[in-house]
């Protein structure tokens, strides 16, 4: 996440957010550090899903050092919602939870097999280690 | 997810969305089936995070049979963002991915131990099963 570089030093080039919103990009623009002019899609999806006004408000409510992470997570969520308008990134959460269920079942089986193999050896009096 | 019940039959009681937005709740209100008057927080967080206008637009773009799931996932995302304004539900995704990494490591170790135990038996000529 680039914390700066939203605008060229000394140039009047607006950040991607101000360009899309067709407004003047002030020197203290809250979007400029996170939405550089050369990544227009990054803001477009965030604007479509959350709305520029909500994003502005959410960023203003956070300390500056947390805004980069907040933008990254909002961009991730917005892209997921544009790709999948029904489930958004909640679809990814369901899929990961299913993977966890499958892995937990496989792990329980493998661990049970280890216990079984060790018990078999122990019963035969041929315990090693 | 309740597909109906946003408003009492024959009553003028507005849904939670129209009540918050202080507008008349039309008989074909897009929010009413999913945001009943007795669950005001459900819409409040969705409105705060996505904005009523964006939610309206997203629902209108979906066929009716998918809107219930879309609302559920938006409510989940909005609640996660209100609880954690920096990471929202992307925090849950990171945490689940870490759980998957841990489980995959544990599974690989358990499976390697099974292979080791079986090979030990096989080398001793005491293979079973």
Contacts of B101 (CB under 8 A, 6+ apart): none
Set of chain A residues whose Cβ sits within 8 Å of the Cβ of B48: 54
Average pLDDT over residues B1-15: 55
So where are chain A's domains? 1-83, 89-129
Q: How far apart are CA A6 and CA B88, in angstroms?
A: 24
Residue of B nearest to A80 (CA): B90
Q: What is the pLDDT of residue A12?
A: 61
Q: What is the pLDDT of residue B4?
A: 45
| Angle between helix B40-50 and B52-60 (nearest 10) | 90
Nearest to B35 by CA among B59, B61, B63: B59
- Residue contact B50–A49, C-beta within 8 A: yes
Residue of B nearest to A88 (CA): B73
pLDDT tens over chain A, length 129 residues: 444 444 444 456 899 999 999 999 999 999 999 999 999 889 999 999 999 999 999 999 999 999 999 999 999 999 999 999 999 999 999 999 999 999 999 999 999 999 999 887 766 665 554
Q: How far apart are CA B96 and CA B110, in angstroms?
A: 21
Looking at this predicted complex, what is its ipTM?
0.80
Set of chain A residues whose Cβ sits within 8 Å of the Cβ of B77: 77, 88-90
Round the average pLDDT of chain A to a whole number and report it. 88
Q: How many Cβ pairs closer than 8 A exist between chain A and B?
A: 113
B97, B107, B117 ranked by CB distance to A106: nearest: B107
* CA-to-CA dists, residue A11 to A14, A42, B104, angstroms: 9, 21, 50
A62, A88, A103 ranked by CB distance to B77: nearest: A88
CA angle A33, A91, B3 (to 5 degrees): 115
A54, A90, A128 ranked by CB distance to B49: nearest: A54
- Residue contact A114–B118, C-beta within 8 A: no
**Under a CB-based contact definition with an 8 Å cutoff, are residues B15 and B25 in contact?**
yes
* CA-to-CA dists, residue A76 to A26, A42, A79, B52, angstroms: 26, 9, 5, 21
What single DSSP character describes residue A13? P
Q: How confident is the model at residue B5 (pLDDT cuts 50, 70, 90)?
A: very low
For chain A, the residues whose C-beta falls within 8 A of a C-beta of chain B are 48-51, 53-54, 58, 61-62, 66, 69-70, 72-74, 76-77, 81, 85-93, 96-97, 99-100, 103-104, 106-107, 110-111, 113-114, 117-118, 120-121, 128
**Under a CB-based contact definition with an 8 Å cutoff, are residues A39 and A15 in contact?**
no
Residue of A nearest to B124 (CA): A126
Q: What is the pLDDT of residue A112?
A: 96
Q: How far apart are CA A111 and CA B40, in angstroms?
A: 47
Q: What is the pLDDT of residue B119?
A: 84
End-to-end CA distance of chain B: 50
Q: What is the pLDDT of residue B13?
A: 85
Q: How far apart are CA B83 and CA B110, in angstroms?
A: 37
């Amino acid at each position: 996440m680039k914390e700066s570089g939203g605008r060229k030093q000394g140039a009047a080039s607006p950040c991607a957010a101000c360009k899309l919103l067709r407004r003047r990009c002030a020197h203290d623009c809250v979007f400029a550090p996170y939405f550089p002019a050369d990544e227009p899609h990054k803001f477009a999806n965030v604007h479509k899903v959350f709305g520029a006004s909500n994003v502005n408000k959410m960023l203003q409510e956070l300390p500056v050092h947390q805004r980069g992470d907040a933008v990254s997570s909002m961009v991730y969520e917005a892209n997921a919602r544009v790709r999948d308008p029904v489930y958004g990134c909640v679809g990814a959460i369901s899929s990961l939870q299913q993977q966890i269920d499958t892995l937990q079942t496989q792990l329980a089986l493998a661990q049970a097999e280890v216990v079984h193999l060790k018990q078999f050896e122990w019963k035969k009096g041929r315990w090693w280690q």
